Amino acid sequence: MTESKTAELASYLKVQQLHVVRSLRQASKVYPRLAILTNDANQSIVVTLQQAAEDVAIEVEVHEVTNKNVVEQLARCENNAAIQGIVLLGIDGKVSDAKDVASATSQLNDPKSLAQRWLEAAYANLDAVPSLTLEDPLVQVALLENLLQACRRLVP
């Protein structure tokens, strides 16, 4: 039952995010872009996260990296002004607070906590809020919400 509620809420929020993305593109000429740096082990999460982003017209770059080139590729993404958010999957590295959309930072919420708060607010009668992971559609939507928050800061 809870799984259907998270999917239902994620679907509703995606519609809202699509409106925000369109507004950013049309009015402010800001084109949200997410970079995913990953190793081979996380392909299912990469595919679902990429699809969730594309559902709301967010551009996605996927970079498969090894331990040898992670620092170099991360630096390229950090220095690319067209990329507003970075996610590291299965690799070690430190993303700047300004572009880290997958962790709690001084500027953004932890996507899992944000998704849980959304569930609690939308469904006050839930017996228990489930444990959520990045594979959950609602957590992915929360991660994208962080990306959109980063994009909004670019609007004068």
Question: For residue 2, what pLDDT is reported?
Answer: 61
CA distance 136 to 49: 9
Domain ranges of the chain: 29-147
Q: What is the pTM of this model?
A: 0.88
CA distance 142 to 147: 9
pLDDT in tens, 95-152: 999 999 998 877 788 898 898 888 888 877 767 667 788 888 999 999 999 999 999 9
What percent of the chain is predicted at pLDDT more than 70? 96
Question: For residue 124, what pLDDT is reported?
Answer: 75
pLDDT in tens, 23-57: 999 999 999 999 999 987 778 899 999 999 999 99
Q: How many helices (H) and strands (E) does the chain have?
A: 5, 3
Alpha-carbon dihedral sign for residues 17, 23, 28, 33 = positive
Q: Topology of domain 29-147, per CATH? A: Rossmann fold (3.40.50)
